[in-house]
Structure 1
Amino acid sequence: MNYPFNKGMLLGLIGVVAFSLTLPATRFAVPYFGQTIVGLGRTIIAAVMVCLLFTFKKQALPGKEHIISLVIVAGGAVLAFPLLTTFAMKSLPVSHGAVELALLPLATAGFAIWRGGEKPSRRYWTASLIAAATVILYAVHLGFGHVQMGDMALLSAVVILGLSYAEGGKLAKELGSWQVIAWAILIGAPFFLIPVVLNVHVDMLKAPLLAWLSLFYLGVISQFLAYVAWYGGMSLGGIAKVGQIQYAQPFFMIGFSFLFLGEPVSWLTIAFAVIVVLCVTIGKDAPVKGIKPRSS
């Protein structure tokens, strides 16, 4: 196992842990700032940071051949996912959303076949399907037998973000991981500025410190730095393989929701987590054709 692959998996894990705080932070921030500010305002915060970074580095513009891919990334990671998850977190507990978002690796792998030219092996798909079945059984156990609007929003987010992940992972090999999400943020931010400004109101100043920290976490970490690690990991270790790490994400989310929101965690949840982690361990070592690791 070569160094770039190990580094890719490590970066992917860092990204997953950072993403795992997104739903708890969203859940806490929405009551104080509203859906528009939390869903779109995070991009404005990230855009300010990107502008400062680009000014300091004097970054060149991306090529015309990259524009379509950047628009796909922006549509999923910058627009659709923040809005859909923010809408869902108004009515669903974090544990509910965490379980449904666990289907992201399958969506990412599917789009990796189409957009990234990867061909996961049978062992990879077996491990993926077992992990997916595990999280679905977990959802059934928790009593999520009926579909709500929040469920539809989250499942739509899974499909759209899966495409964005696969496209971003492929593009990161050409542009670099931080440039992909940075340009995607700058593409989306101008469309968000007016709605965000119109939804700013003086009562937001009364929001507690934790709510403000949650909002800035969403803007600085969830919307930018976590994607830098995630796209970098996929460009080094392969979209499908690194995408497997996402199966551990719902259990990180549930753990964080327990720590920060007081949502209970059962022993059964821990048992399901162990099964999923084992699947990730098996799947990450399964061969995936089409990966050409590059040096960092």
Structure 2
Amino acid sequence: MPAAPQTPGSARRGLLLGALGVVIFALTFPMTRLAVGPADAPQLPPGFVTAGRAAGAGLLSVAYLLATRAPWPQRRHLLALVLSALGTVVGFPLGIALALREVPAMHAAVVTGVLPLATAAIAALALRQRASTGFWVCAVLGCLLVLAFAAHEGGGALTGADAWLLVAVFSAAGGYVAGARLAAEWPAEQVISWVLVLSLPLTAPLAWAWWPDAPVAPSAWGGFAYVTLFSMWLGFFAWYRGLALGGALRVSQVQLLQPFLALLFAVPVLGEPLEASTLLFALAVLATVVIGKRMPVRPTAPAVAAPAVQPEVTR
């Protein structure tokens, strides 16, 4: 369904909510690293972190949906729900959990910096949105800056962990766009909650099967608790709402800041050193976001009216 007409106010709220979601998601990398631990001091198994965080958030979602008496999804929603689940519940968490056993959080943050461009490209195809040349120039420039930073820090070498990170990137991009389509009709809270609830028959048994059989550090459980409550659930409340209000193409560019926020968070959480070059790249990427969000983005087809039944929460 083409996006509903946007007003300047809704676009601004969408950007603010998208930014809040990005801040929450930026902590996912250091918290996941805490949860799984490095290869020389492993903590929770990556499979358990992937399934367990989704199962825990799924149980919270059951309570939320019952408390709010949310309507059941219709058959026409099932494909988008499945695609969102494959991307955000399976692909992205598993990719980063496996990668962060092998590489630091800062490395993962810069490699996944290509996520905004992947999200924008998929959104352009799936949502029939058309961006100006200036928008794409800013998007590509921002991603090139991120890749240049990755090459600067990693010596240009890619590893198996990098491959898992790229799997995570494209999984998340597809999941975000599918979720954004649903968020055009439902409150964002219901979108992610139904995605998690419908995933429970898979995630709950796997979490039980992969439950750790050896003691782990309290910090690992703390990281797991964060990615369960915030990364897997509450962060999507803000993120999907932002995508629906501001447009997936435009709001996705706020994610250009996510790797650099993750770098900053990795300093107090993990004790990883922060270099001056990181701040320079962060400022350059910030400039592309500020300029890019001013470039026109519009649907290629005429907009249609919003659904007759509007969500209770103002979108």
Partner of 2:114: 103
Q: Secondary structure at the match of 1:51?
A: helix
Deviation, 1:203, is 3.0
CA RMSD after TM alignment:
1.6
Partner of 1:10: 16
Deviation, 1:121, is 0.8
Which consecutive unaligned segments of at least 5 residues does structure 1 have?
Answer: none
1:146-189 Cα deviation digits (max 9, x unpaired): 22111001111111211111121122101221111111111212
Deviation, 1:216, is 1.0
Partner of 2:86: 75
The AA in structure 2 aligned to 1:77 is T
Partner of 1:248: 257
Deviation, 1:144, is 4.1
Q: Secondary structure at the match of 1:175?
A: coil
Provide the rounded CA distance (Å) in 1 between the counterparts of 2:44 and 2:167.
24
Q: Secondary structure at the match of 1:119?
A: strand
Q: Secondary structure at the match of 2:59?
A: helix
Provide the rounded CA distance (Å) in 2 between the counterparts of 1:147 and 1:116.
32
| Match status 1:167 vs 2:156 | no
How many pairs were matched up? 294
Deviation, 1:233, is 0.1
Match of 2:101 among 90, 96, 102: 90
The AA in structure 1 aligned to 2:277 is L
Q: Secondary structure at the match of 2:273?
A: coil
The AA in structure 2 aligned to 1:81 is F
Q: Using structure 1 for the length normalisation, give the TM-score.
A: 0.95
Deviation, 1:143, is 2.5
Provide the rounded CA distance (Å) in 1 between the counterparts of 2:188 and 2:255.
18
Q: Secondary structure at the match of 1:263?
A: coil
Partner of 1:190: 201
Q: Secondary structure at the match of 2:106?
A: helix
| Match status 1:233 vs 2:239 | no
Percent identity, aligned pairs only? 34
Considering fraction of residues, name the structure with more helix: 1
Partner of 1:222: 231
Which consecutive unaligned segments of at least 5 residues does structure 2 have?
Answer: 1-6, 37-41, 307-313
Instruction: Extract structure 1 runs of 4+ deviating beyond 4 A.
Output: 291-295
1:71-103 Cα deviation digits (max 9, x unpaired): 000000011111111000000111111111110
Q: Secondary structure at the match of 2:103?
A: coil
The AA in structure 1 aligned to 2:70 is Q
| Match status 1:35 vs 2:46 | yes
| Match status 1:22 vs 2:35 | no
Say whether the 8 Å CA contact 1:116–1:167 is kept in structure 2: no
| Match status 1:281 vs 2:281 | no
Deviation, 1:105, is 0.7
Partner of 1:128: 139
Deviation, 1:139, is 1.0
Matches within 5 A, 1:202-213: 203-204=214-215, 206-208=216-218, 210-213=219-222
Provide the rounded CA distance (Å) in 2 between the counterparts of 1:78 and 1:198.
17
Say whether the 8 Å CA contact 1:105–1:243 is kept in structure 2: yes
Deviation, 1:218, is 0.6
Q: 1:164 to 1:246 in 2, by over 3 A?
A: same
Deviation, 1:53, is 0.7
The AA in structure 2 aligned to 1:63 is Q
Provide the rounded CA distance (Å) in 2 between the counterparts of 1:287 and 1:127.
12
Q: Secondary structure at the match of 1:265?
A: coil
Provide the rounded CA distance (Å) in 2 between the counterparts of 1:256 and 1:26.
12
Q: 1:201 to 1:247 in 2, by over 3 A?
A: closer
The AA in structure 2 aligned to 1:259 is P
Provide the rounded CA distance (Å) in 2 between the counterparts of 1:122 and 1:256.
34
Matches within 5 A, 1:257-268: 257-268=266-277
Provide the rounded CA distance (Å) in 1 between the counterparts of 2:225 and 2:270.
18
The AA in structure 2 aligned to 1:6 is R
Q: Using structure 2 for the length normalisation, give the TM-score.
A: 0.90
